[in-house]
Amino acid sequence: MRVAGSVVRQVLDHVRDHVKPGATTMDLDQAAEAKLKELGAKAAFKGYHGFPAVLCTSINQEVVHGIPSKKRVLKEGDIVSIDCGSIVDGYYGDSAITVAVGSIDERTQRLLDATKASLEAGIRAVKPGATLGDVGAAVQEVVEAEGFSVVRDFVGHGIGTHMHEDPQIPNYGIRGKGLKLKEGMVLAIEPMVNAGKHQVQVLKDGWTAVTSDGSMSAHFEHTVAVTADGAKVLTA
Ligand code: MG
Ligand code: MG
């Protein structure tokens, strides 16, 4: 899983360099596909329940599961969330970043910073004996302190020889509640944070989730192992 995680990191670092005004989300997908091939890894998303691409690319008010397209051109001031999954020898890695296209406004930058900080807070809460409520509460507190909201309809997940395994990992919760973490578990923690209200809806394409109020949304994700010493981030 460390190898699968390292692959995802390298792909996302590579794709990030292709984010600029004028690039299409299909350009990003093609860059990811080439990098996965170079690294000898398989794409986890392509074909998953019929998903047609290597990446999910979600622009501005799109929350998650946006489909890369030649028609979607990035422009200055946009943000794009890029989610990538890999398979190496049957094991999965999963990570996401949200990237600014050129310069973005101050509030949107704050949304990105808060979402990233909330993921880091969630990861810091991971250790044997901690609960999923501890992780969710840690994420939620950082997000809400900035006046943003945590998406409820999509959550993180266990990960291993399948992309989505039990348990579900909500980005909200109550300390001390929920499943206790044990050494050896691996979790994909992935806060999706809206600048406005938490409600989302899925577009007619059956995939793309957008904020109901049209506000901007950000997404950061890491695959994290529970070890005796605490969290080990496999996609760092
Ligand atoms: Mg993901
Ligand atoms: Mg995930």
What does the pLDDT read at residue 49?
Answer: 94
pLDDT digit string (tens) for 19-70? 999 999 999 999 999 999 999 999 999 999 999 999 999 999 999 999 999 9
CA distance 34 to 163: 21
What does the pLDDT read at residue 102?
Answer: 97
* Chain position carrying tokens 């329940």: 49
What does the pLDDT read at residue 2?
Answer: 97
Measure 94 CA to ligand 2 centroid, in angstroms. 5
Domains in the chain, number: 1
- Range of the structural domain that residue 212 is part of: 2-233
CATH code of the domain covering residue 14: 3.90.230.10
Measure 95 CA to ligand 2 centroid, in angstroms. 7
Low-confidence ranges of the chain (pLDDT < 50): none
Query: Other C-beta atoms within 10 Å of 150: how many?
Result: 23
Measure 178 CA to ligand 1 centroid, in angstroms. 22
| Nearest ligand for residue 156 CA | 2
- Positive or negative, the Cα torsion across 152, 116, 32, 17? positive
What does the pLDDT read at residue 55?
Answer: 98
What does the pLDDT read at residue 15?
Answer: 98
In 3D space, the residue among 230, 67, 89, 96 whose CA is nearest the CA of residue 157 turns out to be 96
Whether pTM exceeds 0.85 = yes
Residue 113: strand, helix, or coil: helix
